[in-house]
Structure 1
Amino acid sequence: MNRRFASAAWFLLGYTVLVILWGGFVRATGSGAGCGSHWPLCNGELIPHSPRVETIIEFVHRLTSGLLGLLVLGVVVAAFRIYPRGHTVRKSAIWTLFFIVTESLLGAGLVTFEWVAANDSVERVYVMAFHLVNTFLLLAAVTLTAWLASGERKLPLRGPGVVRLTLALAGVLLVGSSGAVTALGDTLLLTQGLSPDESPVLARLLATRLYHPSAAIVVALFVAWVAWRKNPYGRPLVMMLTAQLALGAVNVYLKAPVWMQLAHLAVSDAIWVLLVLLAATALTRQPVAGSR
């Protein structure tokens, strides 16, 4: 085990979460159009002059996202220098690079097609859902890179419990993507001031918003059942699931203030990371076929 590389990978995970949260802040405050439809420039400038608050928020997100890309590239280069050909750390690092590229392309697409701020197009709804899925897959890749680098482990993708774990991961992805769509509806209604009467897309988002909490409860119960076993990540995961259901209820009651949306997103990230760690740990603890 290379302790320096493992520490760098865990740091990368923490920084990735912070960048994700700032991205949520950009969306919740309606600041996605702060740099206009220009990318990677901001309002046609490398460094914006006399920026508005929205411009500062969006520009900071671009700077921190750019730094994240450089950090990911550094981790990939280090992984190829430290670990031999075919090593799982190399593979997970490559997946991290892949998902940071797709994450950047999705962000660029939102800006250049102007699917930000008060835009209420159907395309934006689908892209926001897919953006969340890609973000979670990026988090999973970074998490596995750090976890694999912290010990000599192999990650089998078959064996007892794989189906349950796969369903749990897929369920959380589904709930997360529906949450991104629900949050978009809150942004359009509460931050941008759109009315369902003037926006058919917003009207549909509001009409289907009960699906998200309903699905969240069902998936949380299933994940808790899967997690409540002999696994070091089981109890923390169940605690986070319980806290998330409570936060979701409070978020609805308070009409989704920005700080509550960010808290909700932060716990979502924590749940996903814990579930990935739980799945990885459970798979590596399985007995090898033919062993006694």
Structure 2
Amino acid sequence: MALVVVQNYMKLNRYQKVALTTVGATIFLIFIGGLVRASGAGLGCPDWPRCFGMWIPPTAVSDLPAGFDATQFNVLKTWTEYINRLIGVIIGLLIVATFVLSIPYRKKEPSVVYSSGAALVLVLIQGWLGGQVVITGLSEWLITLHMLLAMIIMMTLIYAVFKASEQQLELRIPPKTRRWLLGSGLLLLVITFVQLSIGTQVREAIDLLKNMDRPPARNLWISKVGPVDELHRSFSWAVLLSGTLLFYVARRRTGKPLLNKLGSWIFGLILLQIATGAGLYYLGIPPVYQVIHLVGVAILIALEFILVLVVNRAGEQPDTG
């Protein structure tokens, strides 16, 4: 399977390769962001854009410049946050390259240029927003906005890659099946975003507990969040039910290998999200579960969006009955 993926990748043009790499890098950055959060390294670099006043952070307390509190320094947290910033810069450069390489599409498929340009503007805003998160001492609502914007950037890039590649997609679906699949896909995507938004409210409530003068023990955080966590857990049923509908239609009604795989991957990720969510609740928020839960929802949204794009494109082609 890995060989097939590599072979297909090598068939892509320069724009498609760079844009697809950027999508993967963006998901990887979300993973690193999860590590930053789980390890408490958000203020590992207390200033912006430098880190302890340096472009390359120190590796020991003795290397700290004058004027910085030595108690703020933790080499592991500092370098975790610094690597997070470096990867963010690399992704910014990749998005610049994506936009430049999209220019040849301006006549035959202008939406590729527009979406690549939108991703560039959004990543500049994201960079500024990241600085504000640090400057404000990890403001809860700014962290939420920072994460949601990362998801939007990822989806914008996916759309750009898809529009640059859709002519290679040959897929026909009966009209009734297409309507069911497109409807269930859009429903699941909306419900997943709502669930993500509720989840960010849970995270904000936990952040407030952590920042109290006398914060409760980690294993008590969830129990003290209140109704928003109950809503988050209850709403997972909506995700599961809509995901089950999509899985059924994709697997039983289309007979298309691509849609079968997308439906199975999406359903599997929903089950993983529910399992890690339960682990976070019952096991006292293990850091590794935090990372998996965050990356899982990013990949889930990516696959849901890809499925919607694929089905919508298939609807533009003649029906074979």
Who wins on radius of gyration, i.e. which is larger? 2
Note if 1:97 corresponds to 2:120. Answer: yes
Gaps of at least 5 residues in structure 2 are 1-10, 61-73, 170-177
The partner residue of 1:214 within 234, 253, 256 is: 234
Deviation digits for residues 163-208 of structure 1, max 9, x if unmatched? Answer: 65444322211211222332344456579995369xxxx9974442
The partner residue of 2:85 within 62, 65, 69 is: 62
SS of corresponding position for 1:32: coil
Between Structure 1 and Structure 2, the one with more helix by share is 2
* Percent identical residues: 22
Aligned to 2:52: 43
Alpha-carbon separation, structure 2, partners of 1:194 and 1:140: 40
Shift in alpha-carbon separation, 1:209–1:290, aligned structure 2, 3 A: closer
Shift in alpha-carbon separation, 1:86–1:151, aligned structure 2, 3 A: closer
Task: Give me the CA root mean square deviation.
Answer: 3.2
Alpha-carbon separation, structure 2, partners of 1:270 and 1:203: 28
Shift in alpha-carbon separation, 1:163–1:50, aligned structure 2, 3 A: same
Residue 82 of structure 1, CA deviation: 4.9
SS of corresponding position for 1:195: coil
Aligned to 1:176: 196
Note if 1:129 corresponds to 2:149. Answer: no
Alpha-carbon separation, structure 2, partners of 1:98 and 1:235: 34
Aligned to 2:28: 18
Note if 1:228 corresponds to 2:236. Answer: no
Note if 1:248 corresponds to 2:268. Answer: no
The partner residue of 1:237 within 256, 263, 266 is: 266
Note if 1:30 corresponds to 2:36. Answer: no
Residue 213 of structure 1, CA deviation: 1.6
Alpha-carbon separation, structure 2, partners of 1:43 and 1:54: 12
Structure-to-structure mapping, 1:139-150, within 5 angstroms: 139-150=154-165
Residue 12 of structure 1, CA deviation: 1.3
Shift in alpha-carbon separation, 1:171–1:249, aligned structure 2, 3 A: same
SS of corresponding position for 2:229: coil
| TM-score, normalised by the number of residues in structure 1 | 0.81
